[in-house]
Structures are given as structure tokens and as C-alpha cells.
Amino acid sequence: EVQLVESGGGLIQPGGSLRLSCAVSGFTFNNHWMHWVRQAPGKGLVWVSRIDSGGGSTSYADSVKGRFTISRDNAKNRLYLQMTSLRAEDTAIYYCARDSGPGGAYYFDQWGQGTLVTVSS
Amino acid sequence: DIVMTQSPDSLAVSLGERATINCKSSQSVLHRSNNQNYLAWYQQKPGQPPELLISWASTRESGVPDRFSGSGSGTNFTLTLSSLQAEDVAVYYCQQYYIAPTFGQGTRLEIK
């Protein structure tokens, strides 16, 4: 059974930092690109970042570029999102999501349950 | 960015009736090299993550009931539920993956 389990969310003050983690199981992690997608409370879905299967190539939405860093540890089957200089508008549920294609198709066939990040003083 | 616009924002349909959700992209998501539309549909039930229903505009994912179907090409797409069931109550999103992924604003589907 494919499982993606996010952790690391919580309440953080503006300007603070947080690292999210996604533990995966049930599939060959290093065969898939991975993504982070977020959803502000009561709002729609927004793609945040992706990383290729080897970890050598990344890309980001303009809204987080320079502040967020995606990474992965294929030996530990874990995906990460390091978030710095957090703003109120970063408040959202953060989902890790598996890319459907082996070479990066940019649509998402498996999702975690999400972890809530709240940026507030 | 490609802007995805769904219509309507919400929809109420009687059980057993057809539901149709539209999605329009601000530029074509049809890739001429492979004649594929880079368009997916997701279902999100309350308190749950999204679930992939359809990719490549019309390819249903394994395990998705055949009452769900996708159609369209270029900039105009449709998700059709042929006979609404109670468990279909959800928010539905379209997403383009022609370039950096963007989603529609969502369509809330309810029972009339």
C-alpha cells in the first residue's frame, strides 16, 4: 500500500523557519519525482515545488522561490521542505504528492494527508 | 502562468442525474509533439487530500468508476458524472501540467 505521511507543521511566527518531512512507503521512492502542493484554509490547490528522482533538479513557484528549499533522502525514503522567512500568506495545509510519471509528468497520483502550517504572531 | 478557470463555482444535482463541470485554460495545453492534452481532474472530499480521477484529459485512473469521464482539447475541457451518487459530493479541480502546474479554483458539487 502506498503511503505518504507528512509531519513538521505547526504554529510559527512571521519570519520564522520550519522544516516539513514526508515519509513514504509502498513504492520505489527513487523512481519518482516528488512535489509539495499547498492549500490555504478553505481555498484551492497551489503547486509549491518539485524535485527530480535523484534530487539534482528542483523548481519552485515564484511565491516561494528563494525562501523554500525542497530536498530528498532516497536512502531514508523521505522528502523535505525547508521553509524560511515565513509569511502569513504561507498558512496552509502542505501536501506531499507523488509525480505520476517516471520522468516527471507534473500531475499527482498519490497524496499524503497533509500537515498544517500556521504563520501568525 | 496558465490560468485555469472552472465553471460553475458550485453545482447542485439530483441523485442519478448528470453533472457537468467545465474547465478553461488561458492558453492551449495540447502538446503538438504527442497530441496529448496536459490536463488532469481531481476530486477532494471534505477533510481529505485530493484524489486523481483523470489524466491526459480523458484517461480514467485505475479504480475510478466509469460514471466519471473527461473530454475536451486545447483550452476547453469537461468533467462529466453520468449519474450522481451520494459519495460524489466533493470539490473537483482541474489542473494543467503543460508548464508549471496550475489548478482551477474548484467546483463544489452537492446533492439537490
* pLDDT tens digits for range B33-80: 999 999 999 999 999 999 999 999 999 999 999 999 999 999 999 999
Residue A105: predicted pLDDT: 83
B28 touches chain A (CB under 8 A): no
B101 touches chain A (CB under 8 A): yes
Q: What does the alpha-carbon distance between residue B53 and residue B69 come to, in Å, rounded to a whole number?
A: 9
Single out the residue of A113, A121, A119 nearest to residue A7, CA to CA. Answer: A113
State the best of B52, B62, B91 to mutate against chain A, taking most chain A CBs within 10 Å.
B52
Q: What does the alpha-carbon distance between residue B106 and residue B10 come to, in Å, rounded to a whole number?
A: 8
Residue of A nearest to B99 (CA): A106
Q: Any bridge partners for residue B11, and if so which?
A: B109
* Interface touch B105/A44, C-beta < 8 Å: yes
B58 touches chain A (CB under 8 A): no
Q: In the predicted model, what is the mean pLDDT of residues B73-102?
A: 97
Tell me how crowded residue B12 is: count the other CB atoms within 10 A of its CB. 12
CA of B49, closest CA in chain A: separation in Å?
Answer: 6
The residues near A3 (Cβ < 8 Å, ≥ 6 apart) are A23, A24, A25, A26
pLDDT band at A104 (very low <50, low <70, confident <90, very high): confident
Cell of residue B13, nine digits: 444535482
pLDDT at A109 over 80: yes
What is the number of CB-based contacts under 8 A between chain A and chain B?
51
* Interface touch B103/A107, C-beta < 8 Å: no
The residues near B1 (Cβ < 8 Å, ≥ 6 apart) are B99, B100, B102
CA of A81, closest CA in chain B: separation in Å?
Answer: 18
Q: What does the alpha-carbon distance between residue A65 and residue B96 come to, in Å, rounded to a whole number?
A: 21
pLDDT band at A118 (very low <50, low <70, confident <90, very high): very high
